[in-house]
Amino acid sequence: MSKAIPSRRVISVVGARPNFMKVAPLHKAFQKYPSIVHRIVHTGQHYDANMSKIFFDDLELPHPDVYLGIGSGSHAVQTAKIMVEFEKIVLAEKPDMVVVVGDVNSTVACSLVCSKLLIPVAHVEAGLRSFDRAMPEEINRIITDSIADLLFVSERSGLSNLRTEGIPDSKIFFVGNVMIDSLIDFKDKAGRSTIRKTIGVEGKQYAIVTLHRPSNVDVRENLASILTMLEKISKRHAVIFPVHPRTRKMIGEFKLVEKLRLNTNIILCDPLGYLDFLCLLESASLAITDSGGIQEESTYLGIPCFTMRENTERPVTVSEGTNTLMGFDYEKSAIEAEAAFQGKHKKGHIPEFWDGKTAERIVKIIEEKLLLN
Ligand code: UD1
C-alpha cells in the first residue's frame, strides 16, 4: 500500500503592480502539483482597480484568497501595517513556505514576519542590486535576501551579488526571469488588444513612457525637464504616457499640467492593464521608463529602452539587451530618441533562461524542498 503524501501549504504574496505578473505563472505551475495547496495573499499595497484588479483579470489569476487592504502610507506605516496583518494570516494558516517576489514594501514586510515565525521564505527575483541605498527597493532587496531560505535568481549578476554578501550557494538557484514567463504566455492575447486603435496610434510610430520613481517625479526640476523632453519628442512622433498615481499627484502639486494640456501628440491616460500595455510596448519604437520590469520586457521584445536612472539593478538589460541608462540627461535623451525612431539603436539578445519555463523550475525546486521537511 502506498503511503499518502501529506499536502503542503504554500502562500504567495502580492502587493503592488509589478508583483502580479510574477505570481501568475507561479500559481499556474503550482496547479501541476496536487500535493501542494497554493494560496494567494494580496496585501492591498496597490488598490486602485487599474493598479490591481485588472491584472488579476488580464493574467487569469484567481481572486486572492486573502486581501489585507493595507493601502498607502509612509514606508514605516505601510510596512508595519502589512506585518501586523500578515502575521495573523501566517499564524492561522501555518504555511509550509511563503513565496515573495520582487522588491516592494510587501516583499520585505512579509519576509520579516516569516523569518521571526520560522516559516521558510522563497524570494523570487533575488540578488538584484542597484548599489543605490537611496532607493527604498534596494533596502527591501538586501533585507529580504539576507533572511530568505531559497533565493531564485533571474540574471547572473544576482549570483555574484549574493555570493559577495556571504549567502551560501546551497540557497541560491539561477532559474531565469519569471516575469518573462507571463510575457511569453500572454503575448498573443495582448496582440489582439484594440488599444492602438482606441488611442489613435495604429500604424504610427510612437514612444511609450512610464515614470514613477521619486527621483524623477518628486523633484520639480526633474519632472519639468521630463515633460520638456516629451514635448520635444512629440514634435515629430506620438508619445503615449500612462500616468502612475504618484506621478499624476506630483504633476498637479507642481502645477505642471499646463505643459501637457494643449499638446495633442502627447497621449495621457490612466495606468493600463497588462494586455493593453504589452500590446503598446510590442509595437513601440522606443520605451522611456524608470521601471525595473519594463527594462526587462523591452529587452525580451527587442524594443529600445531609455532608462531615466543613473543605475540599474538589472545590468543584463544593458550588457546584453536593448536598455541604455540615460541618467537625468533629459536633453540628450530627446536627441537620441530620434535615432531610435530611425531604427539606429542597439539590438541586443535575450538573456539566459528567459525562456518561459522559470516558474516550472522554481516550483519543482520548492516541491523538492518541501518533501525533505
Ligand atoms: C511601488 C513600489 C515600487 C514599484 C511601484 C510600481 C515600494 C517601496 N515601491 O511604488 O518598487 O516599482 O510600486 O508601481 O514598494 N496610489 C494610488 N493608488 C494605488 C497605489 C498607490 O493612488 O493603487 C498612490 C498613493 O497616493 C501612494 C502613491 O501612489 O501614496 C505611491 O504608492 P506606493 O505603493 O507607496 O509606491 P509606488 O510609487 O507605487
In tens, the pLDDT along 106-138 reads 999 999 999 999 999 999 999 999 999 999 999
CA of 65: how far to CAs of 8, 80, 89, 117, in Å?
16, 21, 11, 21
Query: Between vectors from CA 235 to CA 231 and to CA 241, what angle results, nearest 5°?
Result: 50
- Residue 138, CA atoms < 13 Å, CB-side half-sphere: 13
Residue 324 has pLDDT above 80, yes or no: yes
What are the backbone angles phi and psi of residue 106, rounded to the nearest 5°?
Answer: -60, -35
In this prediction, residue 2 carries a pLDDT of: 53
Residue 265 has pLDDT above 80, yes or no: yes
Best probe residue, ligand 1, of 14, 43, 45, 215 (max atoms within 8 Å of C-beta): 45
Model pLDDT for residues 186-204, shown as the tens digit of each residue: 999 999 999 999 999 999 9
**Which residue ranges have their beta carbon within 6 Å of ligand 1?**
16-18, 45-48, 51, 72, 103-105, 136-137, 212, 244-246, 249
Q: For residues 101 and 20, give the distance between their C-alpha atoms in angstroms, rounded to a whole number.
A: 9
Mean confidence (pLDDT) of the chain: 96
pLDDT band at 101; cut points 50, 70, 90: very high
Expressed in angstroms and rounded, the spacing between residue 179 Cα and the centre of ligand 1 is: 19
- For the question of whether the overall pTM of this predicted structure is more than 0.85, the answer is yes
Catalytic residue ranges: 212
Best probe residue, ligand 1, of 104, 210, 274, 294 (max atoms within 8 Å of C-beta): 104
CA of 33: how far to CAs of 26, 149, 178, 355, 371, in Å?
11, 21, 18, 21, 12
At 15 the three-state DSSP class reads coil
In this prediction, residue 314 carries a pLDDT of: 98
**Nearest alpha carbon, ligand 1 atom 3:** 104
Q: For residues 231 and 237, give the distance between their C-alpha atoms in angstroms, rounded to a whole number.
A: 10
> Mean pLDDT, to the nearest integer, of 63-70?
98
pLDDT band at 346; cut points 50, 70, 90: confident
Atom of ligand 1 nearest to the CA of 291: 12
